[in-house]
């Protein structure tokens, strides 16, 4: 594996983490809206929240795979987000 592959992995992991952060913010907003919504809108908010959670899990899986495959040697970008997750991520 060349240095260019590791450099690309670093950039992709950074982009995925940024997207993950945006989705976390969006999920928190959707959940707040769902609490105050009426029945029909509440159902739509729950579906959107579920889709965001699925996408967030997928992004984290991709990050983990990239780090294991390309960055396991010594070039860690940052530690995985702490175990303290936003309320929206707790199941």
Question: What pLDDT sits at residue 24?
Answer: 98
Question: What pLDDT sits at residue 77?
Answer: 55
Token pair for residue 7? Answer: 């450099």
Stretch among 29-38, 44-53, 68-77 having the lowest mean pLDDT:
68-77
Count other C-beta atoms under 10 Å from residue 18's C-beta.
10
Question: What pLDDT sits at residue 14?
Answer: 97
Q: 59-88 pLDDT, tens per residue?
A: 999 999 999 999 885 555 554 454 444 444
25 vs 66: CA distance, rounded Å: 24
Q: Domain extents for the chain?
A: 3-72
CA dihedral 53, 22, 11, 56 (to 10 degrees): 0
pTM, full prediction = 0.74
Residue ranges of the alpha helices (H) in 37-77? 39-70
């Amino acid at each position: 594996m060349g240095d260019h592959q590791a450099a690309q992995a670093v950039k992709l992991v950074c982009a995925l983490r940024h997207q993950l952060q945006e989705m976390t913010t969006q999920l928190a907003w959707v959940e707040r809206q769902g609490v105050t919504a009426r029945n029909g809108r509440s159902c739509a908010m729950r579906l959107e929240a579920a889709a965001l959670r699925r996408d967030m899990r997928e992004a984290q899986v991709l990050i983990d795979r990239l780090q294991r495959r390309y960055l396991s040697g010594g070039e860690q970008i940052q530690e995985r987000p702490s175990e303290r997750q936003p309320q929206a991520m707790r199941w």
